[in-house]
Chains A and B, each alone.
Chain A
Amino acid sequence: MSGVRVLVGTRKGAFILTADGKRERWEISGPHFAGWELYHLKGCPADPNRIYASQSSSWFGQIIQRSDDGGKTWHQPGTPPGEPTTAPDGSPKAESNKFVYDISPETGKPLTTHQWYDGTPHPWEFKRVWHLEPSLTEPNTVYAGVEDAALFRSTDGGQNWREVAGLRGHGTGSSWAPGAGGMCLHTILLDPSNANRIFIAISSAGAFRTDDGGTTWKPINRGLHSLYIPSPTAEVGHCVHRIAMHRSRPGVLFMQKHWDVMRSDDSGESWREVSGNLPTDFGFVIEVHAHEPNTIYVVPIKSDSEHFPPDGKLRVYRSRTGGNEWEALTKGLPQSDCYVNVLRDAMAVDSFDKCGVYFGTTGGQVYASADAGDSWAPIVRDLPAVVSVEVQTLP
């Protein structure tokens, strides 16, 4: 492996941080797409030079960007750099930012309503792409998790998008409601052992799974217990913040819920709490070590209204037992007066022999550990608020 590339999405642009395998000296490029919110960037497992990025703005909506050279240059899919954006007849070559819910009689589902914050029906409205998940094997296939919650898929490198309508059309869709950050589909996990199996999570509806490539979906929330909803063990309505899996053991899932860290050993059919001795089990991120399927990481956050670390101490907690028994990792992290947050897509690992762990904060720091969390150092300290962190281990 030649090096590592860390893709950082922030409130005001994207940054790309690169280093060799020692992960000591970093080069920083950016801001890319300055002034825009970059909710997520992710590289393709099957082609590391192919990177997709979600660029959005409350003013001007959604843009999809793609790089085919590892982030050196970018273009809106369908229009290679330097080429006209229109066909000879004047029509656009592609509309890569067109996300339209599928309500066609043949393939779609009626666009009814979901619940608004006050419980009243609210029409489905596309707002932005929260998460991009490229196929494990095909660089031109990529999934997009969007707000208002739905799953889209492109099979032409992001040029055109079609809704995977069976999810939104799932029977409970009308009861889904937004979390504080909006009604977003933020987690997409592709099962490396079964191309037809996908796990997704929505705030605040819960986790869902398809076993037939997206045609049908089922809620997988049994065992979740959420005191902030009228029925704490309801089939849907849970504010799942993040799910993680290890590629060698895709039936085992780890979840950071609004409150509670959870684990499933049966592909989400049932969950049990593994918060154990965490100082607080509220948080957003959860990640799994690249080589140790039972080693997981979380960053405890004080509470749902106090989005900062307890006692002003930024601590990553690691469990080597798949939950319940946690140790605080503090070396190199601020242990006083620290009041940043770590958002749900802002932690990732590399796959060097000595697993690297990375996370970004709303204070603009990106921290890296080249020793599986034993010690940490900031790569950068003063970026805009970090929304997402992804890592590519380069061949």
Chain B
Amino acid sequence: MIRVMLPAHLRKLAHVDGEVKLEVAGRVTQQAVLDAIEARYPMLRGTIRDHVTQRRRAFVRFFACGEDLSHEAPDAMLPDAVATGAEPFMIVGAIAGG
């Protein structure tokens, strides 16, 4: 079970409260997690990464376990703590605090 924290605007768009919990089969990568999010919440397609290029939108960042994973390769493995559900995968709007 993967835990994902969405920013407030995307939670509202997806009609969810709090964390999202997802099953990800196989390797737990950034790409696999985003694929799973978009499969369950298709209204989020295009809001986190580009429809076609699949590149992360410029003002969206990814964090987990206190690390900035925004610039990691999409097919790199996420930390074990994310894969086991001990820590959430955080999708954050950049410069969201001021």
Contacts and interface: CB of A to CB of B under 8 A. Distances in A.
Contacts of A86: 39-40, 42
Given A36-B9, A57-B9, A63 B42 contact: no
Interface residues of B, number: 22
B42 A60 contact: no
Contact of A59 (B41, B51, B59): B59
16 contacts: A35-B9, A58-B59, A59-B57, A59-B93, A59-B94, A60-B7, A60-B60, A61-B47, A63-B43, A76-B43, A85-B42, A90-B39, A92-B42, A95-B46, A98-B46, A100-B52
Interface in B35-93: 39-43, 45-48, 51-52, 57, 59-60, 93
Question: For the side of the interface on A, what is the size category?
Answer: 20 to 34
**Interface class of chain A by DSSP:** loop
Interface string A84-102: 0110001111010110100
B47 to A, nearest CB: 4
A11 to B, nearest CB: 14
Contacts of B52: 100
Contacts of A95: 42, 45-46, 51
Contacts of A76: 43
B43 A100 contact: no
A91 B45 CA distance: 11
B1 interface: no
Contact of A98 (B10, B48, B51, B57): B51
A144 to B, nearest CB: 14
B22 interface: no
A79 interface: yes
A97 B46 contact: yes
Interface string B12-31: 01000000000000000000
